[in-house]
Amino acid sequence: MLTSYRGSIHPLGSTVTDKGVNFAVFAGSAKQVYLCLFDKSGHTEVKRLAMFKHEGGYWSLFIDGAQQDDLYGFRVDGTYNPDKGHLYNPHKLLLDPYCRDFFGEFVWSERHFCHMPVGFLNSNDNACDMPKSKVTQVSKYQGKKPNTPWHKTLIYECHVKGATARHPDIPDKLKGTFLGLAETVFIDHLKHLGVTAIELLPVHAFISEQFLTTKGLQNYWGYNTLSFFTPHKDYLVNGDINEFKQMVERFHDAGIEVILDVVFNHTAEGGIDGPSISFKGFDNLSYYSTPANKPSVYINDTGCGNTLNISNPIALRLVLDSLRYWVEYMGVDGFRFDLAPILARQAEGFSPHHTFLQALHQDPVLQQVKLIAEPWDIGPGGYQLGRFPAPWREWNDRYRDTVRRFWRGDLGVLPELARRIHGSSDLFEHNQRGPLHSINFITSHDGFSLFDWTAFEQKHNLANGEGNRDGHSENYSFNCGVEGFTSDSEITQLRLQMQKNALLTLLLSKGVPMICAGTEMAHSQNGNNNAYCQDNFTSWLAWKNHQQHHPLAFFIQDVLSLRKQFAAFNHPFYVHDRDSRFAVSWFDEHAESLSPQQWREPKRKWLSYSITDQQLGQSLLIIFNASDSVVAMTLPSSAFSSHWQLALTTASTVNSEHNSEQLQVPAKTAWVYTSIKGDEKHG
């Protein structure tokens, strides 16, 4: 016999105690909230209990005898008036916004819609198609975190399923799961590359949009959140959410941090005509942004139907509580925030002083983790690269596009290339940030893979079912002479060379480098640059000859080894003229300083520059030739030895005279030389 009475509103969600379980939710202007208990099958509602109202719109109920793994949901009664933004409908079973786990699956049906059509309350009960919240007690993470400094960080952006779904050495039952990623063979692969942080595409429980399921497709990437506290159930082997924590601990034991790509800009409930499965039913206007005096309309700065209202203290609390949970209980080391300007947008626009940003900075838990912004969205003033305050890092798409354009051979790129490879001071220095605040990347989950950047000039997205209209049309790509795959050995070699050019540029630029999973094995998506719904071989990594490693994997390893030897890449500040320690010099093909006129020559597609560290007595000379012809380069005088020593090149063959003062630099190649005090070796 269960006994219930008034409980506590702290903490929100379900909390297990020695006597029973406390339930607490926020349901702003509701008239009544009901806690619905279900049997172990999740099919039958066995009890419906009225909750107690507290000040501020909070509701609670304590149940003696309730216990771990009990299944439940909520029904909320109140005003139904879409014109006023009120969507209370007691016929809808709602998922607890704070549930740590749930049981069952979400099934699309018309029963989920609050109204049918808009303006007419839908009285169909949706409980049979809803997962049930599950009472779950989770212990705090006890593992030791790597705490890798930014200057030693290499990020590997990765999809949980796609990384291991085709790996031949991972047991079938673990493929595509958190525990699959935690397998030694995959972790060893990351360590071989030199990865220090794995950035996972969304792992919060998510569902596929109805417009995809009707076409037989699924939301593969996961940017459609159902629950901000529950790990995505399809990534679990035995349905135990602690498997996520086991994965994190194994990564930490290997010295690898775990960063989560989080989606706090919108939810899976869509627009006003979307389903009512959680937040809408508790308090629509507290959780979602609407225009002033138009509560019936959702602001849609995401393109997904709704925008989470982070300016509201209720939604703000939800986000902060979720972030702290994943750090304290699940052990993660940081977050990459999808469409981050939304999180700091006020009525008058984006503000680097937004309450959300300030709350993060003063939070004793969250101020210690890595914070990365995707600094753009489709809302007003949506492009905010460089405007986030310290300690935020930002994805630098200006870096991505500039490096792609340079190696493609575009005209007039040289001045911007110089800014990007030296940390983008024009973007970050204005608010006292340094080069390590730039997350440099060439490719990510969104867009062409690095191989496809060298094999396709047009997107090929027909498989997405949108008539090839989705995805970016300009990718600054270069197909090396043939669109798509070819057996032509010269084109194949050029493509490998181009990938190496991009990787060498990335890994020898100032900033924090990020590579996309599959880059190291020349993964192709067959020209699909928006594979968000391709849960198949298009997206899953093909582990061919994985035990020998791809040449690109060894190349990444070699460039990273060189990067670690030179302190200039660790330096947290920008290098300017008359710097007491570091110097950057730019040369033309005659080893003379580049003149202002030469910088402006649009047809100049080659560059030579040195980075010198007077304190350690070391210097790098880097030469890029993105033109279509050989360029004769005179090497400048070496700072610390009689000769420059060749360290790396992307050229397929090296002329025996490569150490002479005159270097014939082949088209589409990069070269790196070193000069170290006391090292007179050459050859």
What integer is the mean pLDDT of 516-522?
97
The residue assigned the tokens 């397929």 is 652
Whether 179 shows a pLDDT value over 90: the answer reads yes
Six-digit token string for 113: 């819609």
Residue 655: pLDDT band by 50, 70, 90 thresholds? low
pLDDT score at 653: 85
Cα separation, 222 vs 226, whole angstroms: 10
* Distance (Å, whole) CA 493 – CA 650: 11
Report strand pairing: 618-625 vs 645-649. Answer: unpaired
Tell me: pLDDT of 485 over 90: yes
pLDDT of residue 578: 87
pLDDT at res. 660: 60
Indicate which residue of 338, 401, 452, 613 is catalytic.
338
Percent of the chain with pLDDT over 70: 98
Domains by residue range for the chain, with CATH: 3-134 (2.60.40.10), 573-676 (2.60.40.1180)
In 317-455, the DSSP E strands lie at 334-337, 345-346, 349-350, 370-373, 393-395, 438-441
Contacting residues for 369 by C-beta, under 8 A, at least 6 apart: 327, 332, 333, 334, 335
Which of the two residues, 678 and 428, has the higher pLDDT score? 428
Dist CA 203 CA 494 (whole Å) = 37
User: Does 659 have pLDDT greater than 70?
Assistant: no
Q: What is the pLDDT of residues 536-563, one digit of tens each?
A: 999 999 998 766 789 999 999 999 999 9
pLDDT (average), residues 554-575: 96
Looking at residue 521, what is its pLDDT? Answer: 96
C-beta of residue 32 within 8 angstroms of C-beta of residue 74 = no
Closest C-alpha to 296, from 87, 563, 594: 87
Query: pLDDT value at position 683?
Result: 38
pLDDT score, position 405: 98
Residue pair 435/422 in contact by the 8 Å Cβ criterion: yes
| pLDDT at site 450 | 98
Q: Backbone phi, then psi, for 173, in 5-degree steps?
A: -70, -15
Nearest to 613, CA basis, from 677, 659, 656, 528: 677
pLDDT at 433: 97
User: Could you read off the pLDDT of 194-206 as tens digits, one per residue?
Assistant: 999 999 999 999 9
pLDDT tens-digit readout, 437-478: 999 999 999 999 999 999 999 999 999 999 999 999 999 999
29: pLDDT confidence band, cut at 50, 70 and 90? very high
Active site residue 129: no
Tell me the per-residue pLDDT of 619-652, one tens digit each, with 9 for 90 and over: 999 999 999 999 999 999 987 887 899 999 999 8
Residues in the chain: 683
- Per mean pLDDT, which range of 1-5, 191-195, 220-224, 240-244 is the poorest? 1-5
Give tens-digit pLDDT for 307-360.
Answer: 999 999 999 999 999 999 999 999 999 999 999 999 999 988 999 999 999 999
Predicted pLDDT at 640: 86
Please write the tens of the pLDDT for every residue from 271-320. 999 999 999 999 999 999 999 899 999 999 999 999 999 999 999 999 99
pLDDT at 239: 97
Active-site residue among 374, 535, 588, 613?
A: 374
Paired residues of 257 in beta bridges? 197
What's the count of helices (H) and strands (E) in the chain, helices before strands? 15, 29
Please name the residue ranges forming H helices in 508-599. Answer: 551-565, 596-599
Q: Name the nearest CA neighbour of 453 among 431, 436, 475, 437.
A: 475
- How many CB atoms lie under 10 A from the CB of residue 67? 11
Check whether 656 has a pLDDT greater than 60: no
613 is annotated as an active-site residue: no
Is residue 606 scored above 60 in pLDDT?
yes
Q: What is the mean pLDDT of residues 168-197?
A: 97
CA dist 193 and 554 (Å) reads 7
Residue type, 343: L
Three-state SS string over 152-193 comes to HCCEEEECHHHHHCCCCCCCHHHCCCHHHHCCHHHHHHHHHH
**Sorting pLDDT into bands at 50, 70 and 90, what band is 679?**
confident
Q: Per the structure block, which two tokens stand in for 547? A: 């035990």
pLDDT at 617: 94
To the nearest whole number, what is the mean pLDDT of the chain? Answer: 96
CA-wise closest residue to 453 among 480, 471, 472, 434 = 480
pLDDT grade, residue 242 (50/70/90)? Answer: very high
- Give the pLDDT band (50/70/90) at residue 117: confident
Task: Flag whether pLDDT at 416 surpasses 90.
Answer: yes
As a whole number, mean pLDDT of residues 221-249 equals 98
pLDDT at 681 over 80: no
- For the entire predicted model, the pTM comes to 0.97
- What does the pLDDT average to over 188-198? 97
DSSP character at residue 397: H
CA-based torsion, 601, 602, 604, 606: positive or negative:
positive
Using CA atoms, how far apart are residues 408 and 663, in angstroms rounded to an integer?
Answer: 22
Percent of the chain with pLDDT over 90: 94
